[in-house]
């Protein structure tokens, strides 16, 4: 019952120290604490384990490893759970509206549990798109010594398939190019076990970004979900929190402006997901760092795309894991002057110190191109502005689609409506598919459009149809796609005023997105426009719609202003 101050027990000491906290200790004894444990720093282990999705189905065991690591280093590990949802399962349904909402719920729940229980430090383990930024945002709000751990990537399915292979097979079937037997074979074998989706989709993108940010131990972003390396990573994370506590190193010391620039640089070099734009801006706002869409443009001018990874490339994350992950790439970027080497990381060392002894990729590898012979000389993430997106929109242009598309609008008020018209052949070459009222407020929840983009690819229209939306895209989406159009249609953004047959031009070199209408015509249409009624008036979706910011500012609900 010590009352001795200890900076490593800044938050747990008021909960368990002294005669007046006997009731607290009594409760904790029932879950495994003993006298010695009350004098140890408490390390909360936020587990996203769930049977909901293969991305997280193995994380329960990994959380135990992190707890053991914290205990071995002299702390007391305490596991608690937060939620996850599955984008891959919910895609194309009303349930997908809960996806972006879940990021906020996860951040809220980690803050709630750790704030209530008085944990001194934290490990958070995430394995799917929204629970990774959600975990980091929760850690940032608390600002206690913390480490994020990625749950790891899945292995390829039979025939080098993955979840996107299934979505695109569905499109091929609707076109008549694949029979049900072949579709079922892909369905049965594409997802062989636990782990996050296998390409440079949003999960692997965010894992890489968080490692580059300095909030994960080196190598955490590039390990197979079921591997001894991943188990060791979790145990080391538990141990690392005790060192961070001893040195009083907090997320605010690590998640600096320069660290976010490093994260953006790595995302671009890897050809990562457009969702990284939303999440990095959201994470930065949470820790109090100014980060805007223009930062992606400026950094993109000097950083090339060098990774030949899916969805636009050929290889999967597990194949990059076998080559050494992203550490050799980061060393190349550092030596080229494209990373800030002086950024502090959760190792307690700088990024440059972490990378000092990293070995280069094998000479014969084909996944990561040399920086002087890149796949694309500038960023694939293009921030577009124009009379359709005064506050910006985000495109992922690999270059294979071309850099300019001009076509006539085919307008839909929901993802379902667009999907039906893609499947029945209404959408044809030369169309710009407009899917609106799917933004953060209008959806609500900003659904990702993997189902319609995959259907377009599956029907062989990938080079002939563009798709724009105030919703967003899966990291697995590819083709000529533009999302995050802001302001969104529900708020009266120009996307709400587009009509069938309007000429739309997307230029990824000039970074513009325009509808060929005069200001006078847009004003006339705006005067006649009426905001639709909210789709939800009760529950978490209604609450989210009332609180959420624009996609251009990260679609966050925790706003200071």
Provide CB contacts within 8 A for 424, sequence distance 6+.
none
- What pLDDT, on the 0 to 100 scale, is given for residue 478? 79
* pLDDT over 80 (residue 7): no
- What pLDDT, on the 0 to 100 scale, is given for residue 398? 81
Rounded-to-integer distance, Cα 143 and Cα 215, Å: 12
Instruction: Provide the annotated binding site for Mg(2+).
Output: 87, 129-130, 448
163-221 pLDDT, tens digit per residue, is 989 988 988 898 899 999 999 999 999 999 999 999 999 999 999 999 999 999 999 99
Domain assignments of the chain as residue spans, ordered by start: 40-155+193-355, 158-192, 381-553
- What pLDDT, on the 0 to 100 scale, is given for residue 2? 41
What pTM does this model have? Answer: 0.96
Crossing angle for the helix pair 327-335 and 257-270, nearest 10 degrees? 110
Instruction: Provide the annotated binding site for [2Fe-2S] cluster.
Output: 55
Assigned superfamily of 381-553: IlvD/EDD C-terminal domain-like (3.50.30.80)
- SS3 assignment, position 344: strand
CATH topology assigned to domain 40-155+193-355: Rossmann fold (3.40.50)
From the list 109, 145, 144, the residue with the least C-alpha distance to 126 is 109
Catalytic entry in 165, 414, 474, 550: 474
Provide CB contacts within 8 A for 359, sequence distance 6+.
324, 328
Instruction: Provide the annotated binding site.
Output: 55, 87, 129-130, 448
Write the secondary structure of 164-214 as one string of H (helix), E (strand) and C (coil): HHHHHHHHHHHHCCCCHHHHHHHHHHCCCCCCECCCCCHHHHHHHHHHHHC
Q: In DSSP terms, which residues pair with 132 in a beta bridge?
A: none
223-241 pLDDT, tens digit per residue, is 999 999 999 999 999 999 9
Phi–psi pair at 209, nearest 5 degrees: -60, -40
- SS3 assignment, position 536: coil
Residue 406 designated active-site:
no
For residues 119 and 42, the answer to whether their CB atoms sit within 8 Å is yes
**Structure tokens of 476?**
């697995």
For residues 118 and 144, the answer to whether their CB atoms sit within 8 Å is no
Q: If you average pLDDT over every residue of the chain, what do you get?
A: 95
For residues 492 and 523, the answer to whether their CB atoms sit within 8 Å is no
Quickly count helices (H) and strands (E) in the chain: 21, 12
Buried b / exposed e along 284-313 (16+ C-beta atoms within 10 A): bbbbebebebebbbebbeebbbbbbbbbbb
């Amino acid at each position: 019952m010590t009352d001795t101050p200890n900076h490593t027990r800044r938050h747990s000491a008021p909960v368990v120290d002294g005669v007046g906290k006997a009731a607290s200790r009594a409760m904790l004894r029932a879950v495994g604490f003993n006298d010695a444990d009350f004098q140890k720093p408490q390390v909360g282990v936020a587990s996203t384990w769930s049977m909901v999705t293969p991305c997280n189905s193995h994380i329960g065991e990994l959380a135990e490893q992190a707890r053991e690591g914290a205990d071995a280093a002299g702390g007391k590990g305490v596991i608690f759970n937060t939620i996850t949802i599955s984008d891959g399962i919910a895609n194309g349904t009303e349930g997908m509206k809960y996806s972006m909402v879940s990021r906020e719920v996860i951040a809220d729940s980690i803050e709630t549990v750790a704030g209530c229980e008085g944990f001194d430090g934290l490990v958070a383990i995430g394995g799917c798109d929204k629970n990774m930024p959600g975990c980091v945002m929760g850690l940032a709000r608390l600002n206690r010594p913390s480490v994020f751990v990625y749950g790891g990537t899945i292995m390829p399915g039979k025939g080098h398939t993955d979840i996107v292979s299934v979505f695109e097979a569905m499109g091929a079937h609707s076109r008549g190019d694949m029979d049900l037997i072949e579709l079922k074979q892909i369905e049965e074998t594409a997802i062989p076990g636990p782990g996050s989706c296998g390409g440079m989709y949003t999960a692997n993108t965010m894992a890489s970004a968080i490692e580059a940010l300095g909030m994960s131990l080196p190598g955490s972003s590039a390990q197979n979900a079921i591997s001894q390396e991943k188990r060791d990573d979790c145990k080391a994370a538990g141990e690392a929190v005790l060192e961070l506590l001893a040195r009083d190193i907090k997320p605010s010391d690590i998640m600096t402006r320069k660290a976010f620039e490093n994260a953006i640089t790595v995302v671009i070099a890897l050809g990562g997901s457009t969702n990284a734009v939303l999440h990095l801006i959201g994470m930065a706002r949470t820790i109090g760092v100014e980060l805007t869409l223009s930062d992606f443009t400026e950094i993109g001018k000097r950083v090339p795309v060098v990774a030949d990874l899916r969805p636009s490339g050929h290889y999967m994350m597990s194949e990059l894991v076998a080559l050494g992950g992203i550490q050799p790439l980061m060393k190349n970027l550092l030596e080229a002057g494209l990373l800030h080497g002086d950024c502090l990381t959760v190792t307690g060392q700088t990024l440059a110190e972490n990378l000092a002894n990293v070995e280069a990729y094998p000479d014969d590898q084909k996944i990561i191109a040399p920086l002087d012979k890149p796949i694309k000389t500038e960023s694939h993430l293009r921030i577009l502005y124009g009379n359709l997106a005064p506050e910006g929109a985000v495109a992922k242009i690999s270059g294979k689609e071309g850099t300019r598309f001009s076509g006539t609008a085919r307008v839909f008020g929901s993802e379902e409506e667009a999907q039906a018209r893609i499947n029945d052949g209404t959408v044809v070459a030369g169309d710009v598919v407009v899917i609106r009222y799917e933004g953060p407020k209008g959806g609500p929840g900003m659904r990702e459009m993997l189902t319609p983009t995959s259907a377009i690819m599956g029907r062989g229209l990938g080079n002939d149809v563009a798709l724009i939306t105030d919703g967003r895209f899966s990291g697995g989406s590819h083709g000529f796609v533009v999302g995050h159009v802001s302001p969104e249609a529900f708020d009266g953004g120009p996307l709400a005023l587009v009509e069938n047959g309007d000429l739309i031009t997307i230029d990824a070199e000039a970074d513009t997105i325009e509808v060929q209408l005069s200001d006078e015509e847009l004003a006339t249409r705006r005067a006649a426009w009426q905001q639709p009624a909210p789709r939800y008036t009760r529950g978490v979706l209604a609450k989210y719609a009332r609180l959420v910011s624009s996609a251009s500012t990260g679609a966050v609900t925790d706003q200071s202003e």
